[in-house]
Amino acid sequence: MAVFTVAFLTALAASASVKALPTLDVRHNDQKDHKDWNKGKDTKNYTEFEGWNTFKGYGSNLGTWLEIEVTNTPNIFLDAGYNVTDEWTFCREAGFEYCGQVLENHYATYYTTADIDKIATVGVNVIRIPTTYAAWIEVPGSFLYRGNQLKYLRNVTDYAIKTYGIHVILDLHSLPGGVNGLEIGEAFGNQDWFFNQTNFDYSLQAVDAVIEFVKSSVAPEQFTIAPINEPSDNLAGFGSPDIVTEPAGVDWVLKYLRAAYAKIQARCPSIWLMQNDSFKGSRFWAPYWNTTDKIVFDQHLYFFAGDGVYGNLIPGITCGQAAAIKPPGFNVFIGEFSLQSQYNNSLLVSRRQEVYDSQVVSFQKFLSGGAFWNTKFQGMMRVNGEGTQNDYWNFELLIDEGVVRPLSQVNMSYCLDTPVPTS
């Protein structure tokens, strides 16, 4: 998820510099307090996931954990002595031994089973977990860190499934070469995934590793695999339908997705593939698939930039927007959304409840639900109106403040006058 504009992030990346190394207290995977929730067969004391044709997700992202976004965790590298804007640059400049210590500490502490317990108090039934490809495979020449990500991932996902029956979306947020030129795609300036067969082949190796992780889990049917996030071979068009060129860029993305889908169906035929819409809209991609395919689309809906939206107008916009998204015969999940608007943000709990509730209701009525970005958020930049980013993007904080509540307590009066489209 890119919180700032491309121009801002590009300028920020150019300003990176190095500081002295502090001493860190690092926790490792083999600590005695690290719980293993993957012992024995799954007792299945929950409702088994039956597919996206019937599922309604009420969820949150566990982002900037196994893939780092400095806009979300602005101090992670500063506290380690480096003023850099992505993991790639940090590991290249600090070296893998030190960057590994920093990142292993982050993996061990940023999200734990305690966070699953907390979000479960409001009835979360789905989590989306972005990862880098380095969590899954080793790519020669890559400066993304490859360590114990999967051990932490296993601990959290097995616990979420066995304890609460939470569905898990495993998201390959980055791919070798860089899928969009941003930190979320590999590193700032890296745009060599498109039209590069070597990186294409490595990407499918990452898909293979994800499939094996799912197959060996306590409940494979509780997973959905998302093989790519916000791909773009036209960075100038990021956030718009021009993000992927036509036909060349579209053909390359489809080539990859079809290959990934074939692998999933060959080895885990009950597992769905989630395709990110690349801001082109699910209706654009639907004709390339059959309605019988296990394909669910992922769209990211935000109001914080570009649309000129005032916070008080979101409840009146979101119903019509959600109603127009879904292609006939397919399902759409909102993989990312937040509360920040471009203008006139308000800290009033009632106002933020309106913004949250109206989006949740529209996603539940017209789509397959959604996942808030992000479960934790540490960005403290001021927003237009009142407060900082943290007040509009931090799911756990919003739970504490009473903005996010169980679905049964959400105001369901929104979208009553918006009809469900028939086509």
Asked whether the beta carbons of 362 and 318 are under 8 A apart, the reply is yes
Instruction: Determine phi and psi for 30, rounding to 5 degrees.
Output: -90, 15
- pLDDT exceeds 60 at position 157: yes
Which CATH class name applies to 54-409? alpha beta
Task: Kindly tell me if the per-residue pLDDT of 52 is higher than 70.
Answer: yes
Provide the CA 248 distance to its chain's centre, in angstroms.
26
Pairing of the two strands 57-61 and 82-83? unpaired
Structure confidence at residue 333 (pLDDT)? 98
Contact 304, 338 (CB under 8 A): yes
What pLDDT is stored for residue 44 in this prediction?
63
| Closest to 152 in 3D by CA, of 240, 86, 228, 66 | 66
Residue type, 51: G
Is the pLDDT at 108 greater than 70? The verdict is yes
- Distance from C-alpha of 382 to C-alpha of 391, rounded to nearest angstrom: 10
Q: Positive or negative CA dihedral for 287, 291, 295, 301?
A: positive
Residue 36: pLDDT over 80 = no
What is the residue extent of each domain of the chain?
54-409
Signed CA dihedral, 107, 112, 118, 120: sign only? positive
Kindly report the average pLDDT of the chain as a whole number.
90
302-330 exposure pattern, b = at least 16 Cβ within 10 A, e = fewer:
bbbbeeebbbbbbbebbbeebbebbbeeb
The pLDDT of 59-85, averaged and rounded, is 96
Determine the pLDDT at residue 1: 59
- pLDDT higher than threshold 90 for residue 394: yes
- Provide the pLDDT confidence category of residue 418 given band limits of 50, 70 and 90: confident
Contacts of 330 (CB under 8 A, 6+ apart): 282, 286, 289, 291, 295, 296, 297
Q: How sure is the predictor about 7, in pLDDT bands with cuts at 50, 70 and 90? A: very low
What pLDDT, on a 0 to 100 scale, did the predictor assign at position 206? 98
pLDDT at res. 37: 38
- Whether residue 39 is predicted with pLDDT greater than 50 in this model: the reply is no
Is the predicted pLDDT of residue 26 greater than 50, yes or no?
Answer: no
CA distance 160 to 234: 37
More confident of the two residues 38 and 217: 217
In angstroms, rounded to a whole number, what is the distance separating the alpha carbons of residues 174 and 229? 7
- The dihedrals phi and psi of 259, each to the nearest 5 degrees, come to -65, -40
Percentage of the chain exceeding pLDDT 90:
85
| Residue 421 DSSP symbol | P
Question: Mean per-residue pLDDT for 198-212?
Answer: 98
Model pLDDT, residue 122? 98
Report residue 370 as tokens.
Answer: 């959604």
Classified as helix, coil or strand, 273 is strand
| Residues facing residue 172 across a β-bridge | 131
Indicate the pLDDT class of residue 43, thresholds 50, 70 and 90. Answer: low
Is it the case that residue 30 has pLDDT exceeding 50? no
- Are 1 and 128 spatial neighbours (Cβ–Cβ below 8 Å)? no
- Dump pLDDT digits (tens) for 366-376: 999 999 999 99
Secondary structure of residue 172 in the 3-state scheme: strand
C-alpha–C-alpha distance, residues 127 and 65, integer Å: 13
pLDDT band at 40 (very low <50, low <70, confident <90, very high): very low
**What 3-state class would DSSP assign to 31?**
coil
Distance CA 320, CA 323 (A): 5
pLDDT score for 15: 36
pLDDT at position 22, please?
35
Residue that the structure tokens 């949250």 belong to: 356
Q: 74 Cβ partners below 8 Å, 6+ apart?
A: 378, 379, 380
pLDDT at 13: 37
* 7-16, 215-224, 242-251: the lowest-pLDDT one: 7-16
- Give me the mean pLDDT over the 298-315 stretch: 92
- Residue 362: the pLDDT is 98
Instruction: State the pLDDT at residue 47.
Output: 76
Query: Residue 38's pLDDT band (boundaries 50, 70, 90)?
Result: very low
Closest to 239 in 3D by CA, of 417, 3, 414: 3
pLDDT digits (tens, 9 = 90+) for 323-371: 999 999 999 999 999 999 999 999 999 999 999 999 999 999 999 999 9
DSSP 368-406: SEEEES-SS-----B-SBSSBTHHHH-HHHHHHTTSS--
